[in-house]
């Protein structure tokens, strides 16, 4: 099964998901913009409309989509609009790209539950959208932390 999330810099998000039992692969990339085949340099202009995302493939017999959503909610600040830490721009927005109506429904319910829980003091600004075309990021972005010896 596939899930795609924008939660700031894709290096950090990919690293978090790669540690999870049941996640079979991750891919850094771009989604949600108007340009075909954008490059990192294109996306960094903040003019293409793309978000840096991580596409997560997971085994639903090992980990549920709900648990994958929980990891997403807690690996970044979903109350921060177009910013995660020092990274600023719409390419760093919090977004869930849904690959089915069932994923969309579960993502909306998950967001609503978090809002009601009071866990976050501010409003959650995460967008929940149908998944458009995924553009895989350049190879040097894939598993970046492992390549740099950070893990």
- Which of 9, 12, 75, 98 is catalytic? The answer is 9
Is residue 9 among the annotated active site residues?
A: yes
Q: Which of 23, 18, 94, 86 is nearest to 52 (CA)?
A: 94
DSSP secondary structure, the chain, as one string = -EEEEEES-HHHHHHHHHTSTTEEEEEEEEES-SSSS--HHHHHTT-S--EEEEEEEE-TTTS-HHHHHHHHHHSS-TTSTTEETTEESGGG-EEEEESSHHHHHHHHHHHHHHHHHT-SSS----EEEE----EEPPGGGTTHHHHTT--
Question: Which residues form the catalytic set?
Answer: 9
């Amino acid at each position: 099964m596939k899930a795609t999330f924008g939660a700031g810099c894709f290096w950090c998000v990919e690293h978090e998901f790669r540690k999870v039992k049941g996640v079979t692969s991750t891919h850094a990339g771009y989604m949600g913009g108007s340009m075909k085949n954008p490059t990192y340099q294109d996306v960094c202009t903040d003019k293409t409309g793309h978000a840096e995302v991580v596409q997560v493939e997971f085994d639903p017999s090992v980990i549920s989509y709900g648990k994958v959503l929980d990891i997403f909610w807690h690996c970044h600040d979903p109350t921060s609009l177009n910013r995660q830490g020092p990274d600023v721009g719409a390419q760093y927005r919090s977004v869930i790209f849904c690959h089915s109506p069932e994923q969309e429904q579960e993502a909306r319910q998950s967001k609503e539950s978090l809002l009601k829980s009071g866990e976050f003091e501010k409003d959650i600004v995460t967008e929940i959208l149908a998944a458009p075309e995924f553009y895989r990021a350049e190879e040097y972005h894939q598993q970046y932390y492992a390549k740099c010896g950070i893990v």
